[in-house]
Structure formats: structure tokens, C-alpha cells
Amino acid sequence: MKANKLLVFTQKNCPNCPVAKKSAEKVGEELHIPVEVIDITELPEELEFELLKNQIYIASTPAIVAVEENNMRVLVLGDPVSYEELKSMLIEG
């Protein structure tokens, strides 16, 4: 299923967040997928509801969630991710 958007959850003092953010932005640009970076400490209530509705709980950062047509899918949770790894996750589903 094709991602309509990538949500990148970060927070201050997260050592792996800059790499994950850069990877997501590069993949998003290449695959024409919008990327939204969100500070987990400032999570909008409506987004928190959408995550919970999809049974997603962001317990650590970086986290990358693919927003698809009818659901959300966690791609990365708490681990560093390279551009190649993230691109592969999106292409292979």
C-alpha cells in the first residue's frame, strides 16, 4: 500500500532523530511523499487520537509512521534508520 504521508516523531536530545529525519526527508522527496516532523512532546490531540485508533503508541524516538489510505503503519520505532532501509520499507511494503 502506498504511503500518503510520513510522520516523523522526534524529541529534543534524541541522538538518532536527526538521521531519521534526514532519511525520511530524502525518501519523501524521491518518492514524492510529504513528510511531517512532529515533536513528540507537542503531539496534537487529534493526531494522538488517530495514532491510538490505529493501535500505535509512540514510546520512543525516532519513530516514523506511514499514513496510508485507511490506516497507519509503524516503520521505525526507537532505532536509527538509513535512507536505504527506509526506502526499502516503503517500496516493499
pTM equals 0.93
- All structural domains of the chain, each given as residue ranges with its CATH number in brackets, are 5-92 (3.40.30.10)
Strand, helix or coil for residue 66: strand
- Give 37's strand partners: 8
Q: Cell digits for 37?
A: 516532523
Report how far residue 71's alpha carbon sits from residue 69's, in angstroms, rounded to the nearest whole number: 6
Cβ atoms within 10 Å, residue 1: 11
Q: What is the pLDDT of residues 13-71, one digit of tens each?
A: 999 999 999 999 999 999 999 999 999 999 999 999 999 999 999 989 999 999 998 89
Cβ atoms within 10 Å, residue 36: 14
Q: Cell digits for 71?
A: 490506516
